[in-house]
Amino acid sequence: MTVNLTSPSLFARIRQSDLWYSFTRQRSAVFAAILLAVLIISAFTAPLYAPQNPFDPAQLELWNAEIPPIWLEGGQWPYLLGTDTQGRDILSAILYGSRISILIGIASVVFALLIGIGTGLAAGYYGGFVENALMRVGDILLSIPTILIAILVSAIVRELLPPALRDVGAAGVLVLAIVLSGWVQYARTVRAQTAVERGKEYVQAAQLLKVPARRIMFSHILPNTLTPILVAATLNFGMAILTEATLSFLGIGMPPSQPSLGTLIRLGNQFLFSGMWWIVLFPVLQLCLLVVSVNLLGDWLRDALNPKLR
């Protein structure tokens, strides 16, 4: 048997992994990944080619208002998907709105992960009081429906902010609301996994070698808890986008001056009966595409990383 002494490049390692194999075999996962990539890239490169910056009131012209999509009678170039009642180009608004939705989704998942992993590791590793406190807090947060926590946090923090900061801080408030309603799930997953790992020999060996507790937790135990976390994070990214959209739709999220997809749907919803269906339908479709692609990926990841299903 020849031993390959040069370690393979990262790219080659990915190509040879089980995960990549399962990915290429699953059509829906490949489809979802491509769709998600297209959505994210198009949202973040929007300023390069979008016909208008929908956040800039100076670019909105009222005589361009209420134009239907280009394939209908009265449609006008460059407003491919039509305009709303203020002359905002729907396509540009959707692209810029997706950018906000995606950023809020990423930020919420990252912060929830940081808090969840930190508390979960500490609770699982030290046990005792920290663990009990975490489980109690978890019990309480889980006995209130998450959407209710998010709404209450969002509404209350907004109320406590000075009025001048409410629009500027809206994205931050949303992230806080979503993080507070979602971090417990990570903390519980990490805690359970850590409690299992703590008893294993490699952890005992590290403890005997007097490796600092923080190092044992973060560089020895953490990598072994990441698989379920990765799945949860992917599915929660979709949930975070949905929660953001829901809060914005209810009018306690992003303000109309910086509309996310949820805000666009709320604004469009007012014109549902006026025949201008395009104002609401296209943001709805974009939101669905975004969340469906994330969830398809998360679903595949869950099956692919589940050893029982191999």
Site residues, another protein (CB under 8 A): 28, 139-140, 143-145, 147-148, 151-152, 155-156, 159-160, 238, 242, 245-246, 249-252, 265, 269, 272-273, 277, 280-281, 284, 287-288, 291-292, 294-296, 299
Question: Could you tell me how many residues make up the chain?
Answer: 310
Nearer to another protein, 64 or 243 (CB): 243
**How near is the Cβ of 283 to another protein at its closest, in Å?**
9
Among 107, 14, 39, 62, which residue's Cα sits nearest to residue 294?
A: 39
Instruction: Evaluate the omega torsion of the peptide bond into residue 51 and state whether it is cis, within 30 degrees of 0.
Output: no
Nearer to another protein, 186 or 249 (CB): 249
Nearer to another protein, 60 or 149 (CB): 149
**How near is the Cβ of 265 to another protein at its closest, in Å?**
7
Nearer to another protein, 221 or 304 (CB): 304
Distance CA 67, CA 80 (A): 10
**How near is the Cβ of 242 to another protein at its closest, in Å?**
5
For the beta carbon of residue 285, count every other beta carbon within 10 angstroms.
Answer: 13
SS3 42: helix
**How near is the Cβ of 275 to another protein at its closest, in Å?**
8
Nearer to another protein, 57 or 145 (CB): 145
**How near is the Cβ of 24 to another protein at its closest, in Å?**
19
Tokens 């703590």, located at residue: 198
SS3 89: strand
Distance CA 304, CA 26 (A): 10
The residue type of 302 is R
Structure tokens at 244: 């953001």
